[in-house]
Structure 1
């Protein structure tokens, strides 16, 4: 599936640096970054769900941390 990715000059520069560091094209670097972020997010979500089940008060603690960051 084709998609257009619009980047600011700073974002494009970051992608160029990432691609260079990985020895890949900018396209491949973007794809890898998306896959890595998705895997990390989904994995983190599974860990959080398990922690909520096993640790009493986890939801309240998460809410308190979110409030303190705001």
Structure 2
């Protein structure tokens, strides 16, 4: 499926620079980033939940009473 992605000038410049640095196309770099984001989401969610449990432990205990 085709998709248009609108980037700011700064985002486009950063993507272009990264692609050139790695010797890859901008499309390949963008697709890799999207794939990583989608794949890593469950782990990022678990990390966020653990962080809330740790940082707000006292509050959560008071709320559970």
> Under a length normalisation based on structure 1, what TM-score does the superposition of the two structures give?
0.61
Question: In the comparison of the two structures, how many residue pairs are matched?
Answer: 58
Moved over 3 A (4+): 46-49
Aligned to 1:21: 21
Question: Counterparts of 1:47 and 1:7 in 2: how far apart (Å)?
Answer: 29
Larger Rg: 2
What are the residue-to-residue correspondences of 1:1-40 with 2, within 5 Å? Answer: 1-40=1-40
Question: Counterparts of 1:39 and 1:61 in 2: how far apart (Å)?
Answer: 27
Deviation of the 1:18 alpha carbon: 1.6
Where in structure 1 are there 5+ consecutive unaligned residues? 65-70
What are the residue-to-residue correspondences of 1:51-70 with 2, within 5 Å? Answer: 51=50, 58=53, 61=56
Where in structure 2 are there 5+ consecutive unaligned residues? 60-65
Work out which structure has the larger RCO, using CA pairs closer than 8 Å and 6 or more positions apart in sequence: 2
Q: 1:10/1:48 Cα in 2 relative to 1: closer, same or farther (>3 Å)?
A: closer
